[in-house]
Structure 1
Amino acid sequence: MNRVLEQRYRRILHAYPEPGGVPGWADGLHLGALAVAVVTVAQLPVLPYLTYKVWTALGVVLVVALVRGWTRVAAPLAAVAALQASWPIVLGGFHDPVVDVGPLYGDLAPVAPYWVVAVVSAVLAVRRTGAGRTSGKGRWWGATMPVRSPWWLVVPPVCWGLQLVHGPVLGVVRAGVEVVVLLLVLAATLAARDGRWALAAAVYLVPGLVHLGENLAVTRVSGFLYWSVLTVLVAASLVAARRGAGGGSAAVRRW
């Protein structure tokens, strides 16, 4: 009986993410970049005062483009955002950016999310495949990836509203949500033997590991524990996906 239920669960999970013939690796990259972009935009200082009006608006447009699968729109926006945010690093802080609409960082950790989104969006934008073009119909800005759930668009406003709450509380809430989501990723990967969720989780983890590496000397024990838990969960998901791809049938080898 358990075997039958497991097989049905796997079929349901496999039926979900393959619209338009999009391969698992592209689907995983897209989902990971979207998660990074949403979290980054959700952390922008909006309340009680909107510090960067144009920057926030561009961030919202970028998230909408990723949700709609418009990677050819998202890629240049993400590239401009990455260059703007890391301008002091790119030119050593000797020149002001041509258009100063957002924050400028001299460290790698704050700009890592922008570059992750920019690189992944560029990779997905140049994919030479017909996947996801049914809604684009030949337009250069048309969808190259499947449309994601509109619930992604709800995350930034909710997080902006929570900015009035005390900072440490938000940190605990975010950590709890991340652990729960990564546990679900591991469970889904084990059940479906599909690597896309593990790949998305790995993409999401990259900026965090950059932050840890740059702040290693000042990271507390609780910080090490937090990042260790996330890393172990992502690594376990990747291992589960790898084993599934190696031992499963051709239908589930979707890396």
Structure 2
Amino acid sequence: MSHALERRYRRLLRAYPEHYRAEHGEELIGTLMEAARPGAQRPPLRETAHLLAGGFTARVRAARAPGVPPWADGLHLGAVVVAVATFAQFPVLPYVNYPAWTVLGIVLMVALVRGWTRVAAPVAAVAAVWTSWPIVWGGFYVPVVNLGPLYGDLAPVAPYWVVAVVSVVLAVRRAGADRTAGRVRWWGATMPARSSRWLLVPLAGWALQLTQVPTYEPTWVVSRAGVEVAALLLVLAATLTARDGRWALAAAVHLLPGLVYLAENLLVTSARGFLYWGVVTALVVASLVAARRVHAKA
């Protein structure tokens, strides 16, 4: 096997989790031996596709939270995505206009990523109620404390309410499970922890704010839409390969605040806007339909 071919296949094999390589090492070595046949100059497309598909499937299945119902895991992942995406867009740099709100957002995101739903639930509830204050009080009363932003529209507060509702549902579900098992824990992880890499999302968003590039610039808008569509395509693939609906549910939770925004701005949405929302909605619906069919066949 040429050195270039060996390096290429080693990169492909790293896509597999360590435990999968240990269990299926002979099969993977056989694929490499086949690729090393005389005259082979590059990895055959079939073997390459097999390795990539197998690695993706293995990683998706390994990412499932053990001992947690798919609906709870999907809701949790969706809340994490909504929280990190919302606070990544919140103006923090170069000037911290709401230091207390920034700290609250960091606490909320860390609590969600670590699985501390009983910590995340009250923090998210405070964030949801605070941002909705002008809606609740009709603008007649403005708090003296400058904790964070106040919105008079539904679209900006929708992400906070989605995170709050999901956090409360997960906290109550886990509390009931603990009582059934004879133990009650009011501190610590009540859901399996997510990867700490999720916290890089708000950090990247805040770092981009230093460039002073407006979020409505075409390049920024198209790039963000491309990333979102690619992520939803991966959700659809994960739903089909892992035969599990939690990814589709997480995508639906992520889409919900966006649909509130679309409904509130329906009359001023451009043709490109409708195209974008149509594509992302179609991908989420396709994932939900695939999840339902997979569940029906199980």
When the two structures are superposed, what TM-score results if normalisation uses the length of structure 1?
0.88
Q: Distance in 1 between matches of 2:281 and 2:63?
A: 26
Q: Compute the displacement of 1:141 (Å).
A: 2.0
Partner of residue 18 from structure 1, selected from 34, 55, 65: 65
Q: Does 1:240 align with 2:240?
A: no
Distance 1:99 1:124, change over 3 A: farther
| Residue identity matched to 1:44 | F
After superposition, residues 88-103 of structure 1 pair within 5 angstroms as 88-97=134-143, 99-103=145-149
After superposition, residues 80-119 of structure 1 pair within 5 angstroms as 80-97=126-143, 99-119=145-165
User: Alignment RMSD, CA only?
Assistant: 2.3
After superposition, residues 129-140 of structure 1 pair within 5 angstroms as 129-130=177-178, 138-140=184-186
Partner of 2:83: 37
Range that drifts further, 165-174 or 191-200: 165-174
After superposition, residues 1-255 of structure 1 pair within 5 angstroms as 13-19=60-66, 21-97=67-143, 99-127=145-173, 128-130=176-178, 138-163=184-209, 164=211, 165-167=213-215, 168=217, 169-248=219-298
Alignment deviations for residues 30-85 of structure 1 (CA, whole Å, 9 cap, x no partner) = 00001000001101111222221110110011000000000000000000000000
Count of residues in correspondence between the two structures = 242
Q: Compute the displacement of 1:190 (Å).
A: 1.0
Distance 1:218 1:190, change over 3 A: same
Q: Distance in 2 between matches of 1:18 and 1:56?
A: 29
Q: Distance in 1 between matches of 2:135 and 2:65?
A: 39
Q: Compute the displacement of 1:99 (Å).
A: 3.5
Q: Distance in 2 between matches of 1:48 and 1:110?
A: 22
Structure 2 residue ranges without an equivalent (≥5)? 1-45
Q: Distance in 2 between matches of 1:77 and 1:105?
A: 18
Q: Compute the displacement of 1:129 (Å).
A: 1.9
Contact kept? 1:84, 1:100, Cα under 8 Å: no
Contact kept? 1:32, 1:204, Cα under 8 Å: yes
When the two structures are superposed, what TM-score results if normalisation uses the length of structure 2?
0.76
Q: Distance in 1 between matches of 2:196 and 2:65?
A: 18
Q: Compute the displacement of 1:8 (Å).
A: 8.9
Q: Compute the displacement of 1:138 (Å).
A: 4.9
Secondary structure of the residue aligned to 2:244 is coil
Contact kept? 1:85, 1:105, Cα under 8 Å: yes
Q: Distance in 2 between matches of 1:18 and 1:154?
A: 21
Distance 1:242 1:7, change over 3 A: farther
Q: Distance in 2 between matches of 1:12 and 1:162?
A: 30
Structure 1 residue ranges without an equivalent (≥5)? 249-255
Alignment deviations for residues 2-42 of structure 1 (CA, whole Å, 9 cap, x no partner) = 9x9879975664343132x1100000000000100000110
Contact kept? 1:67, 1:147, Cα under 8 Å: yes
Secondary structure of the residue aligned to 1:146 is coil
